[in-house]
């Protein structure tokens, strides 16, 4: 396998993992808070890190 083929295969695997992560977070509907109170916390966890879905749903 050439270096290019290896890199291309790795990108395909990463994209598949990212798509799976996005699919796991997608909802049919969800409430959206507009103009939230300043006392609400924000989860700043990255959604995808090191080829792994790290997202949290609350």
Q: In the block, which residue shows the tokens 């509907």? A: 29
pLDDT band, very low/low/confident/very high, at 1 (cuts 50, 70, 90):
low
Q: What is the pLDDT of residues 4-56, one digit of tens each?
A: 666 677 777 888 999 999 998 888 988 888 998 999 988 888 989 988 999 88
> The pTM is what?
0.63
SS3 content of the chain, % helix, strand, coil (to 5): 40, 5, 55
Domain borders along the chain are: 3-53
Two tokens, residue 26? 């997608």
Collapsed DSSP state (helix, strand, coil) of residue 49: strand
pLDDT at 19: 92
**C-alpha–C-alpha distance, residues 23 and 17, integer Å:** 10
CA neighbours closer than 13 Å in the CB half-sphere of residue 29: 1
């Amino acid at each position: 396998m050439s270096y290019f083929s290896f890199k291309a295969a790795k990108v395909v695997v990463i994209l598949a993992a990212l798509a799976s992560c996005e699919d796991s977070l997608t909802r049919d509907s969800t409430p959206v808070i507009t103009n939230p109170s300043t006392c609400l916390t924000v989860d700043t966890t990255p959604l995808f890190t090191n080829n792994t879905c790290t997202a949290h749903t609350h």
